[in-house]
C-alpha cells in the first residue's frame, strides 16, 4: 500500500480495520485529532484527493494510491500559510485550538456556494470553546489582531503566542509526541451501580498475546483520596481508592490491562473474569437521604471528611440571617417553587488522558491533559510515597477543560502501571468513557421561597438546595457551598436562610464545571425573583435593580461572610443599564406569524478566585539576546492566560510580546502553581507575572545604573535596551556584563490569591416561541460583562461568547441521561447534542468601564461567569413570551410544547395584586 501524505510517500500496510486517522498519527501527522472516533466532531478532517473526509470513519486501506493532505500540508513548501490559515490567525478563530485543524480543512475545501451557507457547511464540525463567532469571522476574512508595539500591550487585541502552531497543526497536545516502547492501557469498567468484587481472575487476560499486566484492587495502594484537585486537599472528601473492591456506579474502573496495543488491551479486558456480589443501589438524592437507604460510603466521617456517611450526605450548609418567618409574614407577595437542573458533560474535544514514563534520571514523568499539573504531582507523591523531586508532571497544550480537568482521573492509574512495569504507558479515554468514566456538572434541586413588599423591596429569601454528587464526593461539598454563596449575597434582603446538601448516589460522579454550582442555583433564584416581580406588577429588571447590592454593601450569605472577599470595583449598575437599553430597542418584524415574543434578563456575581488561597509563582529573566523568558505554572486550555501573561510582562518590561518567551504547565519550570481553575489565570497567575516583571524591571535599572555609574533616576527601560544620559545600553550587553560578575538578571513574583474581588454579568434575550412545536428561536442576545480592566478585548469577548454558547447548550438541549439502572444512555455526541454552528446566535458583548483595586492592572475574571446568567435569562424570556414558568432544564422542544399544551387546557390561577 502506498499513500502520499503532504508530499511524502508512506508505504506501510495499515493494521486490519485501521482508520485513516490512526494511520496518519502513527506516522507523526499529529495535526489530525481525535475528538470522537464516530464522525461527529470533525476534528480529524483531512483531504483525500482534495475532498474533505472524517478520517476516523475512513478506512486506511481506501487511501491506497491516493493523495492525503492534513493541516500540516496546507501551507506551501516554502512555509507560506494557506489563505485560510492566515485568516484564522488574523481573526484569532480559535481558543483551545483542538478543533481548529478540522475547521481549517473543512473551510479550505468549501466552494463559493458553500461559503454562503456556513450552518450547513459546518454541520460536521464542533467547537466547544469559541461560540463560533470567531470562526465565522475567520472564514469571512475579518481581522481582529493588532500589531504589537513596545510598552503598549495591555488592553489591546494581541494574538495568542501559539497561534501559528495551532493553525499549522504543530501545537503539541497531550499525545502529540512520540514515545519509544509505548504500552497502551485500557480499563475494565463495572456493569453494576453497586457491587462488591468477591473474586477476580486475570489469568485468561494475561495469556492474550501482547498483554504485559492486569492491575486490580490487589495492586492498588490502600489509601483513600479525592480525585478533586484543590490547594487544600484536606477540605475534600477522601472517599476514592485507585482501584476498589467495591464499585459504586456503572462505569467505575475495575481493572487496568496494559499491552503492546490498544487492541490487545481491549481483548485483555474482555478476558478478565469478575465475580460480583450485587448490592442495593440508590439513584435519587432525596431517597438517598431517607432512613434505610443503601449507604454509598460507609466510612469514618472524620477520617473520610464526610458529613454524615450513613445518611449519604457528604457535605451540608445551614444558616440564617435575621428571621425568615418574620420576613415572609411582612411580605405582600410570597412565591415558592422548586427548580431542577440536569447533568451536563464538559465535552472538551480532547478527552482525558495521560502518558507516563521513567526518565533518564529515574524520575516518574507524567504528561497529562490537566488544569492542575502541580496539584496532580502532589497527589501522586502522596499516593505512592514519592518525594516531589522524583515526580514531574507536564501539561502540554490542553484541548479544553471547563473544570473537567481539575480532577485526577487518569494520572494515578497510569503512574501505577509505569512504576510497576518501568515502561512508558498511555491511557486515552474514548468519547464514551468521557460520559461514564469522567465527571459531569452537578444536578441540582433548588426549592426557593421569596417575599417582597409592594414597594419592590425583598423581605425574605430562603433556599433548600440538594446537589447530587454521584458516587464520589470529588468537588461536591465545595460546589454546594459556592452555589449558595454569591447567589444569595448579590441581593439585599434582611432575612435569608439556606439549607444545602451534597448527596451521594450510585451514579456517575459529578465534578467541577464552569460556574461551580452558581449557574444551577442562579437559575432558580433569578427565575423566582423574575416571577415575584411579575406577581407584584413590577418590571423584573427594575425590581432586581432595587435589590442588588451596591459598592459599599457587605456581601452577606447565610453561610457567613468571607473576610477576604470584597467589591473592589463595581459595574453591576452599568450591566443593568446595558440590558435596559437593549430592551428599549424595537422588536424586528421578522418574527413568524403566530409565534410568541418575549424578553428576559438575569444577573450574576462571582468571586474572582476560590476561598482559602490560590498560589501562583512566576519567574522573569533576561535571555542572552536581550529578549525575555517568563516561566509561569498555569495551564493553557483556551482560557487565553498565556496571551495575557505575555501582555502584562511586555508592558512592564517596555518590550513587545514577541520578545517574551513563555514556559508553563511543567512542574520543573517554577516552584508552584495551584492551577488554572476558579477564574484565576489572569487575577492570580497574572498578578504573579506582574510582580515578577516589575521586579525584573527594577533589577535591570538598578544593575544598569551601577554598571554605568549613573543615577538610577537617569535610567529608563525601553525595547531591548536601557536609556541613560550617555546613550543606549542594549540588554544583551547588560546580560553579558551581569554574567561576567556572577549576577543573574532574573526575578520572581508570587501571589497567594487573597484578597479577592467579585465580577458581575448580565444576560438579556429576546426570543420567539412557536406554540405549535415548542421551538425557541433567539432573536437577540446581549451580554454585559464587568471584567474590570480588560487585558485583551478580542480574547475576553471570545470567553464571553464561548460561555454563552456552552450555557445555551445546557439550557436548550444538553442532558446526560441515565436509565433505570443508573447507566449513561447518552455516551456519544450523536446522542448527546452539543451546540452546532447553526444553533448559536451572535451575542452582543459589552464590557463595563471599571478598574479593580485588587486584580492585576485593574483586571477581574471572566472565564466562568458568562455562563451563569444565561439559563435563567432565557427561561425568563420564555416565561415573558408564553406566560408559562419553566422550572426544569433543559428547555427542549417537547418539554416546552407539553407545557404550553397543558397551559392551554388548564386555566391559570389569578395573578396576585
Kindly report, residue by residue over 504-519, the tens digit of the pLDDT: 999 999 999 999 999 9
- pLDDT for 588 beyond 80: no
For 3-16, what is the mean pLDDT? Answer: 95
Do 188 and 272 meet the contact criterion of CB atoms below 8 Å apart? yes
- What's the pLDDT band for 552 if we cut at 50, 70, 90? confident
For 699-722, what is the mean pLDDT? Answer: 96
What is the pLDDT at residue 911?
47
Using the CB atoms, write b or e for 699-735: b if 16+ within 10 Å: bbbebbbebbeeeeeebebeebbbebeeeebebbebb
What is the pLDDT at residue 290?
98
Residue bearing the bigger pLDDT, 587 or 632: 632
- pLDDT for 190 beyond 60: yes
* Percentage of the chain exceeding pLDDT 70: 99
Q: Which of 149-153, 181-185, 375-379, 861-865 bottoms out in mean pLDDT, i.e. has the lowest?
A: 149-153
What is the pLDDT at residue 261?
97
For 134-147, what is the mean pLDDT? Answer: 97
d(CA 192, CA 189): 9
What is the pLDDT at residue 864?
94
β-pair type (721-724, 727-730)? antiparallel
pLDDT digits over 383-421, tens only? 999 999 999 999 999 999 999 999 999 999 999 999 999
57 forms beta bridges with none
Q: In the sheet that 183-189 helps form, which strands lie side by side, from edge to edge?
A: 211-215, 253-259, 183-189, 425-428, 353-358, 364-368, 391-394
What are 590's three cell numbers? 421578522
d(CA 696, CA 282): 58
Q: What is the mean pLDDT of the chain?
A: 96
Do 194 and 280 meet the contact criterion of CB atoms below 8 Å apart? yes
- What's the pLDDT band for 64 if we cut at 50, 70, 90? very high
For 142-163, what is the mean pLDDT? Answer: 93
What is the pLDDT at residue 144?
97
Identify the helix (H) or strand (E) that includes residue 731: helix 731-740
β-pair type (776-786, 843-847)? parallel
For 285-292, what is the mean pLDDT? Answer: 98
| Closest CA relative to residue 220, chosen from 192, 191, 197, 195 | 197
pTM (2 d.p.):
0.96
End-to-end C-alpha distance for the chain, whole angstroms:
80
Alpha helices by DSSP H, 422-461:
431-436
What is the pLDDT at residue 562?
79
For 353-378, what is the mean pLDDT? Answer: 97
- What's the pLDDT band for 912 if we cut at 50, 70, 90? very low
What is the pLDDT at residue 635?
86
What is the pLDDT at residue 702?
97
- What's the pLDDT band for 907 if we cut at 50, 70, 90? low
Amino acid at each position: 500500500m502506498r499513500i502520499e501524505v503532504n508530499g511524502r510517500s508512506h508505504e506501510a500496510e495499515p493494521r486490519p480495520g485501521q482508520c485513516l486517522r490512526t494511520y496518519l498519527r502513527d506516522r507523526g501527522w499529529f495535526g489530525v485529532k481525535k475528538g470522537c472516533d464516530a464522525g461527529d466532531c470533525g476534528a480529524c478532517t483531512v483531504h483525500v484527493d482534495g475532498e474533505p473526509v472524517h478520517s476516523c470513519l475512513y478506512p486506511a486501506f481506501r487511501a491506497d494510491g491516493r493523495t492525503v493532505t492534513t493541516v500540516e500540508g496546507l501551507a506551501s513548501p516554502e512555509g507560506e500559510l494557506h489563505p485560510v490559515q492566515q485568516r484564522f490567525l488574523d481573526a484569532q478563530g480559535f481558543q483551545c485550538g483542538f478543533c481548529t485543524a478540522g475547521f481549517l480543512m473543512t473551510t479550505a475545501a468549501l466552494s463559493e456556494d458553500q461559503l454562503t451557507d456556513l450552518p450547513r457547511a459546518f454541520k460536521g464540525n464542533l467547537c466547544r470553546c469559541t461560540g463560533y463567532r470567531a470562526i465565522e469571522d475567520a472564514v469571512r476574512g475579518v481581522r481582529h489582531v493588532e500589531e504589537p508595539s513596545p510598552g503598549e500591550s495591555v488592553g489591546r487585541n494581541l494574538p495568542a503566542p501559539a497561534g501559528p502552531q495551532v493553525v499549522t497543526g504543530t501545537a503539541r497536545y497531550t499525545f502529540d509526541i512520540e514515545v519509544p516502547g509505548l504500552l497502551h492501557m485500557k480499563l475494565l469498567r463495572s456493569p453494576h451501580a453497586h457491587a462488591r468484587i468477591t473474586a477476580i481472575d486475570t489469568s485468561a487476560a494475561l495469556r492474550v498475546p501482547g498483554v504485559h499486566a492486569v492491575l486490580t484492587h490487589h495492586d492498588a495502594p490502600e489509601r483513600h483520596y479525592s480525585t478533586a484537585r484543590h490547594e487544600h486537599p484536606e477540605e475534600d472528601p477522601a472517599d476514592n481508592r485507585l482501584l476498589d473492591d467495591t464499585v459504586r456506579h456503572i462505569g467505575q474502573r475495575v481493572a487496568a490491562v496494559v499491552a503492546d496495543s490498544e487492541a490487545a488491551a481491549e481483548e485483555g479486558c474482555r478476558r478478565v473474569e469478575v465475580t460480583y456480589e450485587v448490592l442495593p443501589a440508590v439513584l435519587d438524592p432525596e431517597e438517598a437521604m431517607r432512613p434505610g437507604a443503601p449507604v454509598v460510603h460507609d466510612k469514618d466521617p472524620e477520617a473520610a471528611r464526610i458529613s454524615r456517611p450513613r445518611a449519604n450526605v457528604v457535605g451540608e450548609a445551614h444558616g440564617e440571617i435575621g428571621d425568615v418567618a418574620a420576613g415572609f409574614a411582612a411580605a405582600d407577595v410570597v412565591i415558592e417553587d422548586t427548580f431542577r437542573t440536569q447533568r451536563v458533560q464538559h465535552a472538551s474535544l480532547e478527552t482525558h488522558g495521560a502518558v507516563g514514563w521513567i526518565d533518564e534520571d529515574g524520575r516518574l514523568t507524567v504528561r497529562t491533559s490537566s488544569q492542575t499539573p502541580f496539584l496532580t504531582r502532589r497527589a501522586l507523591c502522596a499516593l505512592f510515597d514519592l518525594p516531589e523531586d522524583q515526580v514531574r508532571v507536564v501539561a502540554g497544550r490542553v484541548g479544553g477543560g471547563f473544570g473537567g480537568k481539575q480532577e485526577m482521573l487518569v494520572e494515578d492509574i497510569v503512574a501505577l502501571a509505569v512504576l510497576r512495569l518501568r515502561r512508558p504507558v498511555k491511557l486515552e479515554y474514548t468519547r464514551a468513557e468521557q460520559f461514564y468514566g469522567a465527571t459531569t456538572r452537578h444536578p441540582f434541586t433548588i426549592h426557593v421561597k421569596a417575599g417582597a413588599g409592594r414597594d419592590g423591596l425583598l423581605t425574605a429569601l430562603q433556599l433548600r438546595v440538594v446537589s447530587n454528587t454521584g458516587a464520589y464526593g470529588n468537588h461536591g461539598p465545595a460546589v454546594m457551598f459556592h452555589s449558595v454563596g454569591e447567589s444569595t449575597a448579590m441581593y439585599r434582603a434582611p432575612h435569608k436562610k439556606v439549607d444545602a446538601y451534597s448527596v451521594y448516589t450510585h451514579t456517575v460522579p459529578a465534578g467541577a464545571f464552569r460556574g461551580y454550582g452558581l449557574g444551577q442555583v442562579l437559575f432558580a433564584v433569578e427565575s423566582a425573583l423574575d416571577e415575584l416581580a411579575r406577581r407584584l406588577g413590577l418590571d423584573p429588571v427594575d425590581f432586581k435593580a432595587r435589590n442588588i447590592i451596591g459598592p459599599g454593601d457587605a456581601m452577606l450569605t447565610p453561610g457567613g461572610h468571607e473576610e477576604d472577599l470584597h467589591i473592589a470595583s463595581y459595574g453591576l449598575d452599568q450591566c443593568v443599564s446595558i440590558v435596559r437599553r437593549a430592551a428599549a430597542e424595537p422588536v424586528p418584524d421578522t418574527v413568524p406569524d403566530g409565534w410568541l415574543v418575549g424578553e428576559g434578563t438575569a444577573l450574576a456575581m462571582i468571586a474572582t478566585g476560590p476561598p482559602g488561597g490560590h498560589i501562583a509563582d512566576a519567574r522573569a529573566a533576561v535571555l542572552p539576546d536581550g529578549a525575555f523568558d517568563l516561566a509561569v505554572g498555569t495551564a493553557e486550555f483556551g482560557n487565553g492566560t498565556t496571551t495575557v501573561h505575555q501582555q502584562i510582562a511586555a508592558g512592564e518590561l517596555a518590550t513587545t510580546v514577541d520578545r517574551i518567551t513563555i514556559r508553563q504547565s511543567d512542574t520543573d519550570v517554577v516552584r508552584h502553581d495551584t492551577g488554572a481553575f476558579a477564574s484565576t489565570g489572569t487575577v492570580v497567575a497574572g498578578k504573579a507575572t506582574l510582580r515578577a516583571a516589575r521586579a525584573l524591571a527594577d533589577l535591570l535599572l538598578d544593575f544598569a545604573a551601577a554598571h554605568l555609574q549613573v543615577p538610577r533616576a537617569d535610567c529608563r527601560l525601553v525595547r531591548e535596551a536601557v536609556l541613560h544620559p550617555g546613550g543606549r545600553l542594549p540588554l544583551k550587553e547588560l546580560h553579558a556584563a551581569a554574567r561576567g560578575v556572577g549576577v543573574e538578571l532574573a526575578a520572581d513574583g508570587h501571589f497567594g490569591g487573597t484578597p479577592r474581588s467579585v465580577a458581575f454579568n448580565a444576560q438579556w434575550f429576546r426570543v420567539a416561541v412557536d406554540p405549535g412545536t415548542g421551538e425557541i428561536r433567539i432573536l437577540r442576545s446581549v451580554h454585559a460583562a464587568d471584567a474590570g480592566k480588560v487585558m485583551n478585548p478580542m480574547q475576553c469577548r471570545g470567553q464571553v461568547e464561548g460561555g454563552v454558547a456552552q450555557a445555551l447548550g445546557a439550557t436548550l438541549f444538553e442532558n446526560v441521561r441515565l436509565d433505570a439502572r443508573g447507566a449513561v444512555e447518552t455516551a456519544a455526541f450523536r446522542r448527546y447534542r452539543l451546540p452546532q454552528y447553526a444553533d448559536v446566535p451572535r451575542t452582543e458583548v459589552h464590557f463595563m468601564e471599571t478598574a479593580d483595586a485588587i486584580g492585576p492592572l485593574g483586571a477581574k475574571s471572566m472565564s466562568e461567569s458568562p455562563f451563569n446568567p444565561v439559563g435563567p435569562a432565557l427561561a425568563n424570556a420564555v416565561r415573558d413570551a408564553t406566560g408559562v414558568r419553566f422550572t426544569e432544564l433543559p428547555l427542549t422542544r417537547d418539554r416546552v410544547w407539553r407545557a404550553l399544551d397543558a397551559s392551554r387546557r388548564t386555566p391559570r390561577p389569578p395573578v396576585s395584586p
